[in-house]
Amino acid sequence: MARGRLNSGNAAEQELPKAKINRRSLHNIKQLFNYLKPYRLKFAGAMFFLFLSSLTGLAFPKLVGGLVDAASHSLKQGLLPGNLNDIGLIALAVLFAQGFVSFFRVTWFVQIAENALADIRRDTYFKLITLPMDFFANRRVGELNSRISSDLSQIQDTITTNFAEIIRQITLMIGGIILMAMVSGKLALVILVILPLLIPSAILFARYTRKISRAAQDELAASNTIVQETLLGIASVKAFVNEAFEAARYDKSIRNVARLGIKGATVRGLFAAFVVFIGFGVIFCMVWYGAHLVLIKDLKFGELIQFVIYAMMVSTSLASLPEQYANIQRTVGASERVIEILNDKGESVNIIESENRIKQKIEGNLSFNNVQFHYPSRPEIEVLKGVSFDATAGQKVAIVGPSGSGKSTTASLILQFYHPQNGELLFDGKPASAYSLTDIRKQVAIVPQDVILFGGTIRENIAYGKLGATDEEIEQAAKRANAYDFITGFPEGFSTVVGERGVKLSGGQRQRIAIARALLKNPSILILDEATSSLDSESERLVQEALEELMKGRTSIIIAHRLSTIREADQIIVLEKGVIVESGNHDELLQNESGLYRYLSSLQFEV
């Protein structure tokens, strides 16, 4: 049911998958980090400021301890002066220096990450839209959109924050441990023995809490899906008087959400009690033991304070590392999904080529030569079985047949969305492989049954057939497509926003916009895929008139269920189960009393 599909999509948005960090995943990360190469000098500078910021941070406990000892006149002669004011001035200078380097550390990392991510997004998006149609046939739009949004946002967070933070925390931890040992070896030994015993417990608590939280999110997604399904199908709910059933279904789901939320709160409460008692208890016992060392003159009071601050820095760094590591795992998982797109073999289209003019002109001669084809995802089903036919330039060729006979597949092959496993397509007597993919698609246009417009204006949708077209060219195309009158009838005219997928226009209006777009493209070969099958009589008349204008002077491949629209075709090809069973013009095919075309005609009108 739809619920399962929607639920999986919501879950994907909530929590990115984690991946194991191994040689393969590190190779993926390395491939993405290659995008940092153009900014490597600034990256080196940001890393330098990162280490400098961490080192200046390690100086503060020393300065605080020095202030305390200087106030009690027990400061030993060493790196710090004995004067209280001098130490205070040094502390302010260090504070200013840390603020200075922190500014460059943060801003430079963000600048690098934003620019690198823009490059990755550009390459990922372009590779995505140049991947073959079979790639999109096996994936959902929500999944692919997640890769562009959620996955790259996770990578962005890692470059800007997680990567720098994990290095900073490791630096603080190692530096803090060394300085702790320099202050008091006895206290350092105590803290280093206890802390490693506490960290695993904290990790287990955090992992269990995340598990409950993830289960609650999944259940919440399920409850949201129930709402979405019910509202989308509200007419069916009311027609079958199932309001009570849907309400009970939703109540059961949200009760599960509440139960998991309470369970999670209980675990978090236990974790909080654990942190308060054990965490602060360790610090208290350490201070207690340190105070004993101060009492026996084995440690100065300022050194004790210094040690406590270092211990808190080390424990904070240790506590943050599991979460940082989890973020790195999520980034590894996200990078694998992005790398899959970047490394996938795309079609031979590039930005520069698509902007250039046509290099090899196609006059409009088209030939199928013993074409055999199955979809890559369904190799066991052969859709076309040795199809051969010729269409000369300017000819109208209709393809008819029952559903599933291979009509739309033929159109997809002409557009080079797919390529036959055996046989070949010829344009002007040359194999399709002799032309660039861009040249073929620039000279082939399609008007489909279900026209999907972009959410912009009518002008933008028509101009999609010829980017950079003038207003005069757009208006002329609209007139030839029988669209000018209804367009100018809108208050905003050609600036009218059509809405998502063109929902603000009727089916006939969308078809005429698509025809205007095709006219502006001025193709050599035109494909009409059931272009009038879903229209009312008046809309069909207007669209048919526009199509007649569109077909003038160019090869037209007409795929139709309504046989009345193809009586004037120069050649009619009848497909059944991927095989051409008949071909000829309308009158010739009607002469075959046992023919499929005559049978299909008898179902629609009197022969």
**336 or 472: which leads in pLDDT:** 472
CB 17: neighbour CB atoms within 10 A?
14
51 and 178 share a domain? yes
Segment 125-149 mean pLDDT = 74
Q: Is residue 547 part of a domain?
A: no
> Is 195 in the same domain as 120?
no
Closest CA to 173 of 273, 322, 299: 322
Measured CA distances, 188 to 54, 177, 302, 321 (Å)? 20, 7, 16, 20
Does residue 464 lie in a domain region? no
Report how far residue 188's alpha carbon sits from residue 390's, in angstroms, rounded to the nearest whole number. 87
Please state, in angstroms and rounded to a whole number, the distance separating the CA atoms of residues 458 and 497. 6
Q: With 0-12 CB in 10 A as exposed, 13-18 as middle and 19+ as buried, what is 307?
A: buried
In this structure, are residues 28 and 336 in contact, taking their beta carbons and an 8 Å threshold? yes
Separation of alpha carbons 469 and 459, rounded Å:
10
Task: Give residue-wise pLDDT tens across range 504-541.
Answer: 788 788 888 888 888 888 889 988 887 665 566 666 67
Kindly indicate the confidence band of residue 596, based on its pLDDT and cuts at 50, 70 and 90.
confident
- Beta pairing class for 396-400 and 571-576: parallel
User: CA 515 from chain center: how many Å?
Assistant: 31
546 within domain boundaries: no
Please tell me which residue, 22 or 14, carries the higher pLDDT value. 22
Beta-carbon-side half-sphere exposure of residue 238 (alpha carbons within 13 Å): 5
> Which H helix or E strand runs over 430?
strand 430-431
Asked if 66 and 81 sit in the same domain, the reply is yes
Q: Is residue 5 part of a domain?
A: no
- Given a contact cutoff of 8 angstroms between Cβ atoms, the answer to whether 439 and 349 are in contact is no
pLDDT digits (tens, 9 = 90+) for 36-53: 888 888 888 888 888 888
Last residue of a domain, one of 298, 333, 359: 298
Higher pLDDT, 512 or 357: 512
CA distance 208 to 215: 11
What pLDDT, on the 0 to 100 scale, is given for residue 141?
Answer: 67
How would you class 236 by CB atoms within 10 Å of its CB: exposed for 0-12, middle for 13-18, buried for 19 or more?
Answer: exposed
- What is the pLDDT averaged over residues 432-461? 85
For residue 596, the enclosing domain spans 350-442+568-607
Measured over the CA atoms of residue 506, residue 508, residue 512 and residue 515, the dihedral's sign is positive
Amino acid identity, residue 540?
A: E
Return the CATH number at 397: 3.40.50.300
**Cα–Cα distance for residue pair 405/381, rounded to 1 Å:** 12
Shared domain check, 97 and 151: yes
Last-in-domain residue among 346, 380, 415: 346
List helix spans (H) across 368-526: 407-414, 437-442, 458-463, 471-480, 484-488, 507-521
Q: Please tell me whether residues 140 and 172 are part of one structural domain.
A: yes
- The enclosing domain of 40 has a CATH number of 1.20.1560.10
| Higher-pLDDT residue of 65, 46 | 46
C-alpha span between 182 and 76 (Å, rounded): 14
Cβ-contact 572, 558 below 8 angstroms: no
Give yes or no: residues 278 and 201 share one domain: yes
Alpha carbon of residue 186 to chain centroid: 54
Q: Is the pLDDT of residue 323 over 80?
A: no
| Domain termination residue (choose one: 263, 298, 333) | 298
Strands 579-584 and 571-576 come out as antiparallel
pLDDT for residue 10: 42
Q: Which helix (H) or strand (E) holds 422?
A: strand 422-427
Q: What is the pLDDT of residue 7?
A: 40
pTM of this prediction?
Answer: 0.67
- pLDDT > 90: what percent of the chain? 6
Question: 147 and 72 in one domain?
Answer: yes
Residue with tokens 């029988």: 482
User: Has residue 477 been placed in a domain?
Assistant: no
What was the pLDDT predicted at 1? 38
Residues 175 and 193 in one domain: no
245 & 339 share domain: no
What's residue 79's pLDDT?
60
Is residue 92 pLDDT above 90, yes or no?
no
DSSP 515-557: HHHHHHH--SEEEEESTTTT--HHHHHHHHHHHHHHHTTSEEE
| 46 assigned to some structural domain | yes
Residue 355 burial by CB count (10 A; 0-12/13-18/19+): exposed, middle or buried? exposed
My answer on whether 29 and 155 are in the same domain is yes
Provide the number of structural domains found in the chain: 3
Burial class (CB in 10 A: 0-12, 13-18, 19+), 519: buried
Let me know whether 388 and 326 are in one domain. Answer: no
In one-letter notation, the amino acid at residue 443 is Q
388-445 pLDDT, tens digit each: 999 998 888 999 888 888 888 998 899 888 889 999 999 999 999 898 888 888 888 8
Asked whether residue 465 is assigned to any structural domain, the reply reads: no
Burial 205-235 (b: 16+ CB within 10 A, else e): bbeebeebbeebbbbbbbbbbbeebbeeeee
User: What is the rounded end-to-end Cα distance, in angstroms, of the chain?
Assistant: 44
Top pLDDT among 209 and 483 is at: 483
Report the run of H or E that residue 366 belongs to, with start and end.
strand 366-373
Comparison of pLDDT for 72 and 311, the residue scoring more? 311
Residue 353 has pLDDT above 70, yes or no: no
pLDDT at 427: 93
* pLDDT of amino acid 131: 81
Query: Does 456 reside within a domain?
Result: no
Q: Are residues 195 and 176 in the same domain?
A: no
CA dihedral of residues 16, 19, 23, 28 (deg, nearest 10): -20
In angstroms, rounded to a whole number, what is the distance separating the alpha carbons of residues 339 and 125? 12
State mean pLDDT over 346-359. 60
